[in-house]
Amino acid sequence: MPRRKQYKISASQTAIYDVIVAELQQNPELADYDMGTIEISIKKKFTPRIQNIDLAIDNLKRYLAINKEQIQIINGEMIVAKKDIARMLKITRPTLDKWIRDGFIIPVQSNVLPDTKIFPPDQILKQLQNQKNKK
């Protein structure tokens, strides 16, 4: 992933420069620092996205077509753990964690197993297709 663009300005060019310097000078750790070199940086907004969502959808569909009967079902609820859904999508666990953090995939609280988040493949497939349609 390319780095986000960054815009930098010298703090001395701002109207609040004196306030910034006064605040920083209160910190004894900064006594030996040159306050004339203070910079303010702003990074360009980053919109998270799934790079190859079609492949992830295809992988999940293929897995379900071939292995649906091997998924553990308890009281009518598909019990799929995080590591299992990552394997079904053919992505790494850190990638899955990022997708969860970014809101692309939302785990469901299990009705059968208390304090357990599960990843029902049919719901995950719908969530990914919704993300694809948002593009």
pLDDT tens digits along 27-38: 999 989 999 999
Any domain includes 1: no
Polymer length of the chain: 135
Residue 41, strand partner residues: 8
Q: State the average pLDDT for the chain.
A: 90
Q: Domain of 84?
A: 53-134
Burial label for 27, CB within 10 Å (0-12, 13-18, 19+), is: exposed
Q: How far apart are the first and last CA of the chain?
A: 19
Any domain includes 39: yes
Q: Same structural domain for residues 101 and 121?
A: yes
Q: How many structural domains is the chain composed of?
A: 2
Any domain includes 63: yes
Any domain includes 124: yes
Any domain includes 59: yes
When pLDDT is cut at 50, 70 and 90, the band that residue 135 belongs to is low
Place of tokens 């719908």: 126
Q: Same structural domain for residues 20 and 71?
A: no
Place of tokens 């996205």: 49
Give the helix/strand (H/E) hosting 46.
none
pLDDT at 126: 94
pLDDT at 134: 80
Arithmetic mean of pLDDT, 36-60: 88
Any domain includes 96: yes
**Contact between 46 and 127 (Cβ < 8 Å):** no
More confident residue, 48 or 105: 105
